[in-house]
Structure 1
Amino acid sequence: MTITTTTHLNFRGDARQALEFYQSVFGGVLTAVAYADFGMPKELPDADKVVFGQVTADNGFRIMAYDVPSQATPAPAPTGATRENGVTLTGERFFVAVAGETADEVSPLWDKLADGAEIIEKFGPSPFSPGFGMLTDRFGVTWILQVN
């Protein structure tokens, strides 16, 4: 038996743009289905929002996303990133972690994700990895990129 996990991101109206951005970074196939495609009347406010979205790439990258319905209660905003005893703390409940075999493989992904992002820890050699970095992208998602 094989078990896999896929990160599923919840957005407030910009899931399609985020998925398009992630596809531009990682490649692969983008699937985005709107609430209207599942029968929601097109005149309702969320009809054009994403109810099911994913990017799946041949290199093993896969991420899912949707737009939380507008009547749902928003989650509290994350706190800012801090460093304590050399450890980066962000207050986030999760990160999306992407690992590759070499810095040459991971660096281009970092460069693309960093466009419009807040850099928490710049990508580069670390005591535990030949390449490690952390950022919060333009959609508010915190990513860790590292070399195994």
Structure 2
Amino acid sequence: MSITTTAHLNFRGNAREALEFYRSVFGGEITVITYGDFGMPRELPDAGKVVWGQVVSGDGFRVMAYDVPGQTGPGNAPAPSTRREHGMTLTGDPFFLSVRGETAEEVGALWARLADGATTIEAYGPAQWAAAFGMLTDRFGITWILDVPAQHVNA
């Protein structure tokens, strides 16, 4: 038996925008299906919202998303609740997404793109436990950890 785990993210009316952003960062193919595609009358406010969407890239990145019905408007992304204080990460978030690569350069390039509009929690760079590490909350309220394990030190 073989299984995979994929994060399925819940948005408040901006799932399409988030999926397009993640595709611009990680590459791959995007699929978006709206409530209207599933038969919701097109004149209803949520008809154009995402009932199911995903980004899948050839290098293993995969994320799914949808818009919670009836929850749209300004301030779609929750305020970042993850922060660093006194050498500790404090958070109210139930999860972080982790992206791990083999070189600081390849992960650093992802960091640079994902950081557009983000709140940096811990700047990307060498860490005691990793060749490279960084933590941010993106413009959609999702907290990401990007790192390169210590055994993958650049040549």
Q: What TM-score comes out, normalization by structure 1 length?
A: 0.92
User: In the alignment, which residue of structure 2 is the partner of 1:133?
Assistant: 134
The CA deviation string for residues 24-69 of structure 1, in whole angstroms up to 9 with x for no partner, is 0000000000000000000111000000000000000000000000
- Tell me how far 1:124 sits from its aligned partner: 0.5
Task: Please say if 1:19 is aligned against 2:19.
Answer: yes
Q: Does structure 2 retain, via aligned residues, the 8 Å contact 1:78–1:91?
A: no
Q: Does structure 2 retain, via aligned residues, the 8 Å contact 1:79–1:91?
A: no
Task: Please say if 1:30 is aligned against 2:18.
Answer: no
Q: Once superposed, what is the RMSD of the aligned Cα atoms?
A: 1.6
Look up the equivalent residue of 2:23 and give its one-letter code.
Answer: Q
Q: Matched residues in 2 for 1:24 and 1:71: separation?
A: 25
- Tell me how far 1:85 sits from its aligned partner: 4.6
Q: Matched residues in 1 for 2:83 and 2:117: separation?
A: 20
Residues 140/107 of structure 1: CA separation in 2 closer, same or farther (3 Å cut): same
Q: 1:18-97 counterparts in 2 under 5 A?
A: 18-70=18-70, 80-97=81-98
- Tell me how far 1:78 sits from its aligned partner: 6.1
Look up the equivalent residue of 1:80 and give its one-letter code.
Answer: S
User: In the alignment, which residue of structure 2 is the partner of 1:110?
Assistant: 111
Aligned length: 144
Residues 71/104 of structure 1: CA separation in 2 closer, same or farther (3 Å cut): closer
Local SS of the residue matching 1:30: strand
- Tell me how far 1:79 sits from its aligned partner: 6.4
Identity %: 64
Q: Matched residues in 1 for 2:71 and 2:118: separation?
A: 28
Q: What TM-score comes out, normalization by structure 2 length?
A: 0.88
Q: Any stretches of 5+ residues in structure 2 without a counterpart?
A: 73-77, 150-155
Q: Matched residues in 2 for 1:82 and 1:96: separation?
A: 15
Q: Any stretches of 5+ residues in structure 1 without a counterpart?
A: none
